[in-house]
Amino acid sequence: MRLISFLIFLMAFSACSGVSTTSNPPPTPKISPSQVVSDYLEALKIRDLGKTYEFISSVHAANLDIESYKTNMKQFLDKFSWNLLNYQILGVQILGDHALVVAELEVQFKPINTEKETQKKTSVQYGLIVVDDKWKISQDNCISNCESIEGFTGQGLKQ
């Protein structure tokens, strides 16, 4: 009976001996998610749309090439006289190859059908993923003091 118990123990022990329980995580990108969002916002602040394209995933760019992306962004920014005045990174959470960065943006824009420019602070959550060993912005969502499409068209605000 002892021999059988010993053989079962030996088989169980040897079955696990060649298996590694640790996996090698992918390399961490050199530039942090918060720095990527800061660099993106700095480029947006000065309207360097070619530079902003470097920090976003192809999905976030609607699979547009750089020239089409720049054209679309310029049309949007000009249509609403949208400008980023200032920003502050409020928080970062990294979960493997995904990250969330929350930033407070101070923006200025002019709703359609009005001559008055509006200035406000809003909070945006940026979702990032690792693409080719670099953090890329894959989504952004307003989470506080958001503007609805009606606000841009002069019909009201979504708060």
Look at residue 23 and tell me if it is in a domain: no
Q: Would you state the pLDDT for residue 57? A: 96
Q: Dig out the tokens for 68 from the structure.
A: 């089409």
Please give the DSSP secondary-structure letter assigned to residue 56: B
In whole angstroms, how far apart are CA 146 and each of 11, 51, 124, 157? 62, 25, 9, 8
Look at residue 41 and tell me if it is in a domain: yes
- Count H helices, E strands: the chain? 5, 4
Q: Would you state the pLDDT for residue 111? A: 81
Look at residue 82 and tell me if it is in a domain: yes
Look at residue 87 and tell me if it is in a domain: yes
> What own/partner pairs with CB < 8 Å and gap ≥ 24 does 39-46 have?
40/126, 40/137, 41/84, 41/87, 41/103, 41/105, 44/84, 45/83, 45/84, 45/85, 45/86, 45/87
Q: Would you state the pLDDT for residue 24? A: 62
Look at residue 97 and tell me if it is in a domain: yes
Q: Angle 143-145-151 (CA atoms, 0-180°, nearest 5)?
A: 115
Can you give the pTM of this predicted structure?
0.78
Residue 83, domain CATH: 3.10.450.50
Q: Would you state the pLDDT for residue 152? A: 53
Look at residue 10 and tell me if it is in a domain: no
Look at residue 7 and tell me if it is in a domain: no
Look at residue 47 and tell me if it is in a domain: yes
Chain CA centroid to CA 108, Å: 22
Q: Would you state the pLDDT for residue 138? A: 97
Domain count within the chain: 1
Q: Would you state the pLDDT for residue 9? A: 44
Give the pLDDT means over successive 10-residue stretches in the chain (159 positions): 45 46 69 98 98 96 94 93 97 97 96 86 97 97 82 45
Q: Would you state the pLDDT for residue 39? A: 99
Q: Which residue range(s) make up the domain with 118?
A: 29-152
Q: Would you state the pLDDT for residue 28? A: 80
